[in-house]
Amino acid sequence: MKRYESTVRGLLEKADVQINGEREQDIHVHNDDFYGRILAEGSLGLGESYMDEWWDANALDVFTEHVLRADLQHHVRWNWHNILSVLMAILSNRQTKKHSREVVKHYDMSDVLPEALLDSWNQYTCAYYDGTEDLNVAQEKKLDLICRKLRLQQKDRVLDIGCGWGGFAKFAAEHYGCHVTGISISEEQVKYASRFCGGLPVDIQSCDYRDLGGTYDKILTCGMVEHVGYKNYRTLFQKIHDVLSDEGLYLLHTIGSNRSVKTGEPFLMKYIYPLGMIPSAVQIDEARSGLLSLQDIQNLTAHYPPTLLAWYRNFESHWPQLSQQYDERFRRMFEYYLLTCKGAFQADHLSTLANGFL
């Protein structure tokens, strides 16, 4: 046990993190089994031991930022769980229509999403903090930025692939007067979005992107590509090419990874986004090559930390009501998810890209 502790302390020192220290990046260990667990289980063990109250951080996002900047995850040996995950990702295609219900489990948590966590437009991607510190205003600015990049006009037939709870569809229909078709494979989202957009020229459908037909002038995927899987990027862009009009515009808004990977982060895959995987700019560029011409790219990474902090504060303020449905382990799981993601963006481990295609 002392050997494990010595090894972990040595690793954390590389990230300027101390155990039982008082700085923002320091952590406090409550169970000595913590040391062996994270050496054996890596990032999944780190997250699950936090859920189990084996350790706490003075500032979880700052701790994560320090760990990622020091690249500590590559100093911890791989375990069979990680190896199996990568092999499965290489040898099989888990993001098929057959497995699509696994993808949407997170989005069907109706007690948390969207109203307890998000803004008045139900946006579950980063806001655009342009001259504001208010989440609601920042998300409205993000929606208008998307509409302006797509050059929306009243005559446009607009398609929102992975429409979420209908926020973009409602905004575009109300502010630009265009007709919007939104699709989702989450039945909860389809029902909610249909109500949310009631009375507007909006059609919300339960549909997989692989089943799309028709022709559209403008197409959006916002926070959807992260669930597609690297084996399906080309399929998605081929479908978008097929249903986009000759002079049409497509906008991709996605979280991006600085590395091209073939599987997702173990903790997030298990507890938040089953089968989720963050694409790299290289993977996206290769998949769209020959189908879509890149016209514009904007990096919005700096806007994600304040968005995640706003979501965390919303979650905290709603916890008295949510605690009637969920236990403390769930609270710590959601806290860990939001604040470690914030730290990942602060460390430039993740980025947010808005790409315009023709």
Cα 294 to Cα 25, 32, 150, 256: the distances in Å are: 40, 52, 13, 16
pLDDT value at residue 218: 98
Residues annotated catalytic, as ranges = 341
**How much is the pTM?**
0.92
For 2, residues 6+ apart whose C-beta sits below 8 A from its C-beta are none
What 8-state DSSP symbol labels residue 290?
A: T
**What is residue 221's three-state secondary structure?**
strand
> At residue 35, does pLDDT exceed 90?
yes
> At residue 74, does pLDDT exceed 70?
no
d(CA 129, CA 138): 5
Give residue-wise pLDDT tens across range 264-293.
888 999 999 888 889 999 999 999 999 999
Cα angle value 257/47/79 (rounded, 5°): 75
For 355, residues 6+ apart whose C-beta sits below 8 A from its C-beta are 251, 252, 253, 254, 284, 294, 296, 297, 298
For 83, residues 6+ apart whose C-beta sits below 8 A from its C-beta are none
> At residue 358, does pLDDT exceed 70?
no
pLDDT value at residue 105: 75
Tokens of 304: 């994600």
Tokens of 174: 């109300």
The values of phi and psi at residue 185, to 5°, are: -100, 5
Neighbours of 332 (CB within 10 A): 18
| Average pLDDT, integer, range 33-49 | 92
d(CA 249, CA 186): 26
Q: Is the dihedral of CA 159, 160, 161, 165 positive or negative?
A: negative
Pairing of strands 216-222, 157-161: parallel
The residues spanned by each domain of the chain are 2-77, 97-357
347 has which bridge partners? none
Give residue-wise pLDDT tens across range 170-225.
999 999 999 999 999 999 999 999 999 999 999 999 999 999 999 999 999 999 99
> At residue 90, does pLDDT exceed 60?
no
d(CA 154, CA 176): 6
d(CA 151, CA 47): 42
> At residue 327, does pLDDT exceed 90?
yes
Q: Outline where DSSP puts E strands in the chain.
A: 27-29, 55-57, 157-161, 179-184, 202-206, 216-222, 244-257, 294-299, 350-357
pLDDT band at 72 (very low <50, low <70, confident <90, very high): confident
The answer to whether 194 and 170 are in contact (CB under 8 A) is no
* The CATH number of domain 97-357 is 3.40.30.10: no
**What is residue 253's three-state secondary structure?**
strand
The amino acid occupying position 18 is Q
